[in-house]
Structure 1
Amino acid sequence: RAIKPNHLTVQNRLVFQNERQWTAGWTGSGFRHLFQSPSVCAGLAPLKVQMPALSPTMEEGNLVKWLKKEGDEVAVGDALCEIETDKAVVVMESSDDGILAKILVQEGSRGVRLGTLIALMVSEGEDWKQVEIPAPKQLRLSPAARHILDTHGLDPHLAKATGPRGLITKEDAVKLLNQRD
């Protein structure tokens, strides 16, 4: 049976919506099947906890306080941390059972962009002390941004990427340059 193109579009939207719901801390029965690679399902890699979109206008948030610490058991619906949005302080709930293995973004961190990896969890029974932090993604710079950063000797890791798919734009480089001065 052939799949119609509009069916794929609808399916992709559903997947995106489910992913956003999980990222925001809500549960979804198909989450494990849709969003975990086979290695994660086999228990070889940690579950990623990302900065959620807790309001429609939110682009970044502040991690106010962790309510769990590394090594704590976590159940679905347990409060993990408090996040300050552009409108209020909201409690982020866990969408899965497991153990909080690594906290990657510390309390008091400001300007944490949506989708940023903030913590790692492992399934119950796994050694949470042995979890490895995933390698950071490669930086993407526009040619103009690369030129500005190289010319002024600025570290591109300090720039906040605002371009599509995490691209550091000329404007991002200029903003970093102005912050330095």
Structure 2
Amino acid sequence: MPIEIKMPALSPTMEEGTLAKWLVKAGDSVKSGDLMAEIETDKATMEFEAVDEGVIAEIVVPEGTDGVKVGAVIAILAVEGENASAAPKAAPNAEANTPSPLGGEGAEAKPMAGEGQSQASTPAASPSPRPSPQRGEGERVKASPLARRIAAEKGIEISALTGSGPNGRIVKADVEGAKPGAAPAAAAPAQPAAAFAPAKPAAIPDIPHEAAKLSNVRKTIARRLTESKQTVPHIYLTVDIRLDALLKLRGDLNKSLAARGVKLSVNDLIIKALAVSLIQVPKCNVMFTPDQLISFSRADISVAVSTPSGLITPIIVGADTKGVAAISTEMKDLAGRARDSKLKPEEYQGGTASLSNMGMFGIKQFEAVINPPQGMIMAIGAGEKRPYVIDDALGVATVMSATGSFDHRAIDGADGAELMQAFKALIENPLGMLA
């Protein structure tokens, strides 16, 4: 019997993705472990492997298709002994290639482990109701699993509802607005656009230009940063930190680690300092939820890495307990695979706080946007020679500016200041973070 190959969920929060590229074609033989396709999620482009053996009978969803729902049939596999050309064709899946408006029901982001990647989001706007097609007697009701579960909990007869999803599919909003035993609600008249609805795209000026389609990664970055600035009250605290002692320690460590092929960067030591300071000031190693404040006993640092498709934050798990050589080796591996879109979901989803370093670009100081539902992010500027008071005398020192962005719902200004003080002390007396 032919096997339906379905769109996989490549991360805990994935609801749909882009079938970027097929690596096989109809008539190709595949076995377990063979690469079949490249799928673009909201975080990265990942490879999809075959789990069964057989011959590709049909490619249902062509490459380049956006908004393919998790679980949608994307290909048909004929198993050994079957004639691939005689395998039944898959029925068109109208919902597979049609993204729900504004992400639809599936766009409710789930918190990342410790972060959320995360991830808090505002509820997506419900699409305007559409009359559902008439169902014949005994015909299966089209409804999402979430809608069915809510209907069962509320004692609602789901077949009596009018679906507002694609092709009359009953979704969460339809069930939540219904009452047990109530008659099917008539389709509501179209409502005027809400105040928070996305603005119409600006007219493109008559200037020579190129237009590039937004990737899922870029769309996710835009959505999450907008949500962060709109829903998280940021408070910013900046300190100037003398780097001379840390630079000397780095030089000494690199000499001793040269035989092992390890070369520490300043950023490796900063990751360690942030992790240790979060353990010293646990009130800042937190995550805010509507009814709880989650405090973490381990510091997992999400480190911002720029990639061709956008920003991604691979995580150094337990950075507070790892040696700086281990942090350096792990960070180089994660950053390399991040740029090649080869990270596993668990390597970028999570984290208790974030670090963004733009010092290599000569940026003196900046304020980073919090990665919700994390409670803070540290922004690192360039180290530079500046006039500095040393032992009550004016001298010259290598100084960098660091700015902490804190979620003021979860972290008071005094607690944020305590973290910045601890971070500064560890950078200026770096042996303390190695003990």
TM-score class normalised by the smaller sequence: 0.5 to 0.7
Q: Does 1:91 align with 2:47?
A: yes
Q: Does 1:164 align with 2:155?
A: no
Give SS of 1:120's match: strand
Q: Does 1:145 align with 2:106?
A: no
Q: Percent identity?
A: 46
Q: Is the 8 A contact 1:82 1:91 kept in 2?
A: yes
1:169 is displaced (CA, Å) by 4.4
- The normalised TM-score by structure 2 is 0.24
Q: 1:85 to 1:48 in 2, by over 3 A?
A: same
* Counterpart code for 1:164: A
What does residue 118 of structure 1 align with?
Answer: 74
Aligned residue runs from structure 1 range 13-28, under 5 A: none
1:125 is displaced (CA, Å) by 3.0
Aligned residue runs from structure 1 range 46-65, under 5 A: 46-65=2-21
1:168 is displaced (CA, Å) by 3.8
Q: Which runs of 4+ in 1 moved over 6 A?
A: 170-174
Q: Is the 8 A contact 1:105 1:119 kept in 2?
A: yes
Deviations 1:16-45 (A, max 9, x none): xxxxxxxxxxxxxxxxxxxxxxxxxxxxx3
* Cα distance in 1 between the residues matched to 2:11 and 2:172: 28
Q: Does 1:70 align with 2:26?
A: yes
Q: Larger deviation: 165-174 or 87-96?
A: 165-174
Q: Does 1:103 align with 2:59?
A: yes
* Cα distance in 2 between the residues matched to 1:124 and 1:67: 21
Q: 1:145 to 1:73 in 2, by over 3 A?
A: same
1:93 is displaced (CA, Å) by 0.2
Q: Is the 8 A contact 2:22 2:37 kept in 1?
A: yes
Q: 1:107 to 1:137 in 2, by over 3 A?
A: closer
Report how many aligned residue pairs link the two structures: 117
Q: 1:118 to 1:57 in 2, by over 3 A?
A: same
Deviations 1:139-168 (A, max 9, x none): 9xxxx5316x89xxxxxxxxxx79636834
Q: 1:162 to 1:108 in 2, by over 3 A?
A: farther
Deviations 1:57-85 (A, max 9, x none): 11100000000000000010000100001
Specify the structure having the higher radius of gyration (Cα). 2
1:100 is displaced (CA, Å) by 0.8
* Cα distance in 1 between the residues matched to 2:72 and 2:23: 19
Q: 1:70 to 1:58 in 2, by over 3 A?
A: same
Deviations 1:115-154 (A, max 9, x none): 0000000112321011112446899xxxx5316x89xxxx
What does residue 20 of structure 1 align with?
Answer: none
Give SS of 2:62's match: coil
* Cα distance in 2 between the residues matched to 1:79 and 1:138: 26
* Cα distance in 2 between the residues matched to 1:94 and 1:170: 33
Give SS of 1:145's match: coil
* Counterpart code for 1:99: V
* Counterpart code for 1:73: S
What does residue 129 of structure 1 align with?
Answer: 85
* Counterpart code for 1:119: A
What is the RMSD of the two structures over their aligned residues, measured on CA atoms? 3.5
Unpaired runs of at least 5, structure 1? 1-44, 151-160
More relative contact order in 1 or in 2 (CA 8 Å, sep 6+)?
A: 1
Give SS of 2:11's match: coil
Give SS of 1:164's match: helix
Q: Is the 8 A contact 1:145 1:171 kept in 2?
A: no
- The normalised TM-score by structure 1 is 0.55
Q: 1:72 to 1:110 in 2, by over 3 A?
A: same
Unpaired runs of at least 5, structure 2? 96-128, 135-143, 149-164, 175-186, 194-435
